[in-house]
Structure 1
């Protein structure tokens, strides 16, 4: 198996294995350590010995044994030999050959566990991104605009709070879903976003993350068909993911939407996403995921960039702005206004946003400003902003794209 294929397999298996181990033994923190050791063992052994017929069962078995060792050590220090016997018997019952594919999706249960209402919203999202999304602490810290040390402490506290609360590893009862569904959808949105446009690393897309986010969102939508925002989120993912093949050119280069070959857009995903958001919006009381999906649907029905109905997109972003003070929404609104009414109007909106350091320090702000300056004919100003955006970018494809835009301006 190629190294990249092995890495993809281990990355996609990690949340499922962690969910299975936590379901059996509890001890979230120690279970995560045990799973990491199992993944390391696989990465070391499988290139020589070959991939097992059932990689997930192998990983669950190795992680379970390692967790048993960790529990024995922990419990020995606390003189709890009776509990050690309990863990050992559990290991025996889940030896190789035992079914490790339960009816309930372990990854989804793990997601709901991470989104326990006893945690703060920020801790829910951070813990779920770590355990379910497989993001590194550094990647999560960048998403939250905090230091890696701060995020490490936040995630550690969240795991300890769940463990000390004795929360059983199970799907919450239907009446408990309302307390967690908003956090669950937010986490799935962030996992998908990281998969569709990776914030760091050599690749623009992390297909394992975006595909898993779509899979889990489908399950949540089936479980909560009456919640319009679950349909809105699934629609947003499908409409966005439909463009994936057209976003990456030769050598992994980024292709902006205005230059994409729209014949590569997946029409089946566009049709499904459009139907979902249309049905959800008919119910009234639209939420932010439905509005974002509606924006994606407007882009999807334009056969070329010139046919994009920017005035409608502006109106939708204005609705979204009334729902949220998210500065990225304001940035996207500025782009839509510039396309509908001219770059000078968009630049005026950016001047207002420049005082908000939540977005003014982001490479997206400088990339947008560069694009609008280029539209006005200010090549020197645009080049400077493209260079600044590239300096702030942590994704290699984004860096290459931004530098190429700058160099093209001379």
Structure 2
């Protein structure tokens, strides 16, 4: 399916966003004092766009789910006293109406909302006739079509100042990240819609304040357009996501150390050899992680075969695999002979792993 969006530059009144665009502020608005103090510290560091969670969708009931509409006057006060633009997450039509009532300058749709087309459509309908920048976070699961579909719904409502937020993807496997970045997905989004600004959320990707600089630099190396980073005046006392927030001073250090190359927001990216190599490195890492997971399953199969007195080599199953992979090679525009060679080596290593498992079980007797 062709992916086309009717887009205008992602700008705010009187302020042209430059790369890297930076949005910063606490995960949640907690008190008026916390919001204003953090905002003033960020403004002193040169941050122009303040973010804070008013409504916080949480995984389990009983967790802090935001102060709600009562916090919107606090953000309005931030705007009046610091001159910063203010931005929040919305998940329902009611959120949109309340945010607009209090002069919020930029909205974003959260990952849980993006995953639900009906919820996105409700937000889109509420935005009809409004001219405001809207960012759309990727859905929690790695589904590029769902992400693009959400942006199409918002765009069809008349929102042309549109951008994407890459916040990583949930995974059952444990990795060093809170949300696995799956960089190939925003890379593919950039390939399909070159003029769509992509903002990376290193706070939610990393889940740890000490990793934010690393993820931020990766985003810049891949030529993405900006960062949305959670910053709290006192992170250790934060009511939500304390481990992934940084102080305004820490944020300044991260931004000062950031190496920024390439183009401004809205320009078609110029692909360099370094960027292409970076993409290969990322894909190679994912290949290695996938192979590691596959070998763990082979070891589990070896244990099952031992427990059930089944021989390791199953010729019929091997033939089925190779025939299927050969056909899949054609479907994916790969050389079938190359793919067969790769899977021959993978199968050989799987047999080795199963042998090791069986020998260990025998040694226990």
Which structure dedicates a bigger proportion of its chain to helix? 1
Which structure dedicates a bigger proportion of its chain to strand? 2
Give the shorter-chain TM-score range.
under 0.3
TM-score, length of structure 1 as denominator length: 0.23
Which structure's relative contact order is higher, taking Cα pairs within 8 Å and 6+ residues apart?
A: 2
